[in-house]
Amino acid sequence: MILRRRGADVLVRAPAKVNLFLEVHRRRGDGYHELTTLMTAVSLYDTLRFRDDPSGMVRLACDRPDLSAGPDNLVCRAAELLRRSAGRDLGADVRLWKRIPMQAGLGGGSSDAAATLAGLNALWRLGLSRAELAGLGAGLGSDVAFFF
């Protein structure tokens, strides 16, 4: 993940990832399986721009009209999780340029969620560590924490 400030904006390049190895083990009591995997980030990126919004709302716009920009989107879910964690009504205008193919197993949604946590942490000057952001991300999806 590459994070940069440009004036008042925060830009984040969110990489795709590939699983080089995946082994499924026993099923746990919670219905999930134990896994052994080796993942690596690759040089295919979505780009997200974060801009402060004094209204206190978080709004997402995307260049792909077939991608939901509503509350079900992982970017919106990550933003709401961070707002709740901070305990403040902070707002942001989020713009997503999607380059990672959707539903291709490349972790685009998870990477975008991680980028949102990192980008809004920087924009809102929350001061959370990578470990704290990874902990929040783990609640959004099993591979979100990988991107930290």
Q: Are 36 and 23 in contact (CB under 8 A)?
A: yes
Q: How many angstroms separate the CA atoms of 24 and 34, rounded? A: 6
Active site residue 66: no
What angle in degrees, to the nearest 10, is found between the helix axes of 108-123 and 74-86? Answer: 30
Out of 9, 17, 72, 89, the active site residue is 17
Active site residue 98: no
Out of 46, 98, 112, 143, the active site residue is 143
**Residues recognised as catalytic:** 17, 143
